[in-house]
Amino acid sequence: MWCNGYPSPQLKARGEPVSESESKPKLKKGDRPLTNCTIFLGYTSNMISCGVRETLHYLVKNNMVDVVVTTAGGIEEDFMKCLAPSFLGDFTLSGRTLKVQGMNRTGNLLVPNYNYAKFEDWIIPIMDQMLLEQKTQGTIWSPSKMIARLGKEIDDPDSVYYWAYKNNIPVLCPAITDGALGDMMYMQSYQNPGLIMDIGQDIRLMNDQSVRAVHSGMIILGGGLIKHHICNANLMRNGADYSVFVNTAQEFDGSDAGARPDEAVSWGKISLTAKPVKVYGDASLIFPLLVAETFAREYKVPPVFCEGNKP
């Protein structure tokens, strides 16, 4: 595996075991105690669209990360997959033909219009209830509070955010309006106006996770908003102690998406003493391998006893 292609040396660097002093203590289920290393996991929406959702689900379900940052698509598509299936297509399918057929292409995946109708039918009553609680109980919602509420309401163990809710893992989405969730808020603003979404609460929540951490680690799949949001939070503590970037972006256009870890060191987003790694490659292929060689290597599945076979 370690000789398979150009990114192999960088991938090997993260596949090697860390010392006992660097390893992350187990978390108590259903709580977020301060541990030796607070792990920030960030990913773009395509990671939920594709099969990496199962890997993310594994990490969140088993309490292996402490903070999640994603985009609006990374939230809504998890719930939509609980409501209706998406399908494998092809990168070369005609956009004109798909439009006529009521299909939306995400890379080589196809999402029917029907899925968005199901999502609307599910979420609008929840948002109406949130508005009622705002009016009657004084609740001021933030994106993370809304995502936790949706994780509770979906009540489906196949959902990543069901387990984030169960394990009290905060999920931050500073651009929550940039997708179908924003479309739902727009429609509700005419049908039943007044819902307030306070993003100020979440920037304090996000930065406090960094400031109060004993040590901090960043795992970032992709670039753009999720990458900068996590890195900027770690600036508040003068840099993350551990950092792994996985993306295909290049640095030559000056974008944060393509910036190497060394650029983040110059800003104080990664510690001067850290040994950060950037893997140039497709996260949908690389990340499951990284998890298999790290988080999953020593994880023991709790025994399941059938009735009559209990110890």
Q: Which residues are catalytic?
A: 269
CA angle 150, 292, 5 (to 5 degrees): 115
Question: 309: left (phi > 0), else alpha (psi -120 to 50), else beta?
Answer: alpha
Strand order of the β-sheet with 87-88 is 87-88, 109-112, 103-106
**Tokens matching residue 43:** 């990913």
- Residue among 113, 63, 54, 44 at smallest CA distance from 283: 44
Residues 6 or more apart from 177 whose CB is under 8 A from it?
A: 72, 185, 197
Residues 6 or more apart from 83 whose CB is under 8 A from it?
A: 115, 118, 119, 122
- Residue among 145, 294, 279 at smallest CA distance from 220: 279
Q: Using the structure block, give the residue that is written with the tokens 């955010």.
A: 161
Question: 29: left (phi > 0), else alpha (psi -120 to 50), else beta?
Answer: beta
Strand bridging mode 38-43 / 109-112: unpaired
Give the DSSP H/E element, type plus range, for residue 112.
strand 109-112
3-state secondary structure of 146: helix
